[in-house]
Amino acid sequence: MTNFNLTGYSYQYHENGDLTIEKGYIIKDQVINTPTNEAIQAIELISKANAYWNVTYVFCLVFFLLLFKNAYKPFRPEKNWKRYVTFYSIVLIAFLVWIISSQVTLTEQIATIINDLKGGE
């Protein structure tokens, strides 16, 4: 539950030097169990996906906080209200396009690496 990111992949180290890669957002299914040194690329990409998730989470919190602040009547700017809404909308759409395209690319790369580790199934 704590290893959430938008690709759905996560990993866990084991004391014996093995690594388990899991797929799933809430319920995790084991995809592969391999020695850690063979899965370095997958670890790097999953860590990158986790970093993207942290950026997404913080951005959404800040965005909704600012949106609430500007939508709440006493704090609302009286001039240029439509410009604020337009600016927020453009920034949100640009961010969503960037994060979705990044996550799709990461998911494909992780799946390719895992298939190679499994032996090309």
Q: What per-residue confidence (pLDDT) applies to 2?
A: 53
For the cut 80, the answer to whether the pLDDT of residue 58 exceeds it is yes
Range 11-40 average pLDDT: 83
pLDDT digits (tens, 9 = 90+) for 65-108: 887 777 777 766 677 777 877 888 898 899 989 988 988 898 89
Whether 30 contacts 20, CB under 8 Å: yes
**Alpha-carbon gap, residue 48 to 93, rounded angstroms:** 22
Q: How far is CA 62 from CA 55, 79, 97, 106, 119, in A?
A: 11, 22, 18, 25, 44
What is the pTM for the complete model shown? 0.74
Q: What per-residue confidence (pLDDT) applies to 23?
A: 86
Q: How far is CA 24 from CA 1, 7, 8, 10, 120, in A?
A: 10, 9, 5, 8, 21
Q: What per-residue confidence (pLDDT) applies to 1?
A: 43
